[in-house]
Amino acid sequence: MNSSRAEASVILLVDDNATNLSILVQSLSEAGYKVRVAQNGESAIAQVPSVKPDLILLDVMMQGIDGFETCRRLKAVPETQAIPIIFMTTMSDVFDKVKGFQVGAVDYITKPFEIEEALVRVSTHLAIQKLQNQLQTQTEQLQAEICDRQKAQEAVQVFLNAVSHDLRNPVTGGLMVLKSLDKEAEAQGGAVAVSRSILQRMIQSHDRQLALINSLLETHANDMSGVTLECQAVDLFTLVNQLAIEWQPMLEQDESVLQNQVASDLPLVNADSNQLWRVYENLIANALKHNPLGVTLTLTAEVEQVPHATVSMMRCTVHDNGIGIPAEQAASIFELYKRGEPARRTVGLGLGLYLCRQIILAHGGQIGFTSHPETGSTFWFTLPLFEQAYSLYSPVFAEN
């Protein structure tokens, strides 16, 4: 090893013989190494954390703890176990080579020292240690790159799942309306009158789908870590009423009923109407998918009165009279990719309730549920009132 490489290498000498120490200190220093000295095992163990040696030359036979025990203790500590240790022993010692390697030594040299041999062994093991350190660094870098790539792939998968999950319901509803019109046209000889209200609902549905796509793109750009909101005053009664009309074809197919019990005179809430629509759609779709045919859905809302609270919130509920949620699924129901039992007709993506949670938290609200076997489930969430919104929170982007 040349002097420029040796400058950064620190050698710790451990020997209770002053003559041996003097010889090695002089030889190693002349070779360009930085040399530190300890005269027993306890002193060596105490010095290692501060000295941070690149290699240790350790005498086997010393007063106090011997070289074997010193080596064993150093190798038992994660911070020092990677330091290469070379044992030093006299020709007359019955040196147990196997034991030396078993406790963690990488090599040994004999006394009296052949200085050239000792320097070559030191240089060789320092070079090996340097290569091992480089390999460890490269391995950690590769692992970090693999982890980053996996996170990126997971983010892409979540994005694709979100697109397919949230677009499926409005596309299915629109398709059912078109099929119904097609049957009516066939029955009437190729032409059918379409009311303006139906056209307006279809236009609104497609507008929401476009807004949803834009929202998902924004969410994906933020690595699914938050939800971008465009809040405004929202009338819950009107929104839920439009939702009930748009879902009517799918409810009829499912032999289910949606009851809008949201009062028309409730205060306005401060919300992103498109994101809030997603919450309701996911909760409705989840209830239909995981319950038998013929379920009744009841949507309610009321101002939540909390004693000593500085602001009031709107508490919205979606109740079904279905089979309830098993207790073992309750703890993780809002987690990404956690899902219930296989659905009756389709496979759930484990994404809908997670998205609901993300959206409601971004609004500054809370979300939860209560459920009882065979009597149904009630999902609830809270939203700030429009007149009090800016006293509750200011940003329109909330991280998870």
| CB of 205 closer than 8 Å to CB of 246 | yes
The confidence band for 6, taking pLDDT boundaries of 50, 70 and 90, is very low
CATH 3.40.50.720 fits 222-399, yes or no: no
Q: In the 8-state DSSP scheme, what is residue 290?
A: T
Give the pLDDT of residue 235.
Answer: 96
Tell me which long-range contacts 76-82 makes (C-beta under 8 A, separation of at least 24): 79/49, 80/48, 80/49, 82/129, 82/132
pTM: 0.50
Handedness of CA 70, 72, 78, 81 (dihedral sign): positive
Give the pLDDT of residue 396.
Answer: 39
Average pLDDT over residues 378-385: 96
Q: Which of 3.90.660.10, 3.10.28.10, 3.40.50.2300, 3.40.50.450 is the CATH number of 3-113? A: 3.40.50.2300
pLDDT digits (tens, 9 = 90+) for 68-96: 999 999 999 999 999 999 999 886 666 67
- Tell me: pLDDT of 125 over 70: yes
Contacts of 243 (CB under 8 A, 6+ apart): 277, 280, 281, 284
pLDDT digits (tens, 9 = 90+) for 245-278: 988 888 988 899 999 999 999 999 999 998 999 8
Contacts of 281 (CB under 8 A, 6+ apart): 166, 169, 170, 243, 247
* Distances 213 to 24, 62, 220, 224 between C-alpha atoms, Å: 73, 75, 10, 14
Residues of the chain with CATH 3.40.50.2300: 3-113
Tell me the C-alpha distance between 64 and 238, whole Å: 86
Residues of the chain with CATH 3.30.565.10: 222-399
* Distances 149 to 9, 144, 156 between C-alpha atoms, Å: 36, 9, 11
* Distances 66 to 31, 70, 81 between C-alpha atoms, Å: 28, 6, 17
Average the pLDDT over each of 143-152, 160-169, 217-226, 322-331 and give the range with the smallest value.
217-226
- Tell me: pLDDT of 349 over 50: no
Average pLDDT over residues 292-309: 88
Find where tokens 């073992």 sit: 328
- Tell me: pLDDT of 42 over 60: yes
| CB of 301 closer than 8 Å to CB of 267 | no
288 by DSSP, 3-state: which?
A: helix
Average pLDDT over residues 29-50: 94
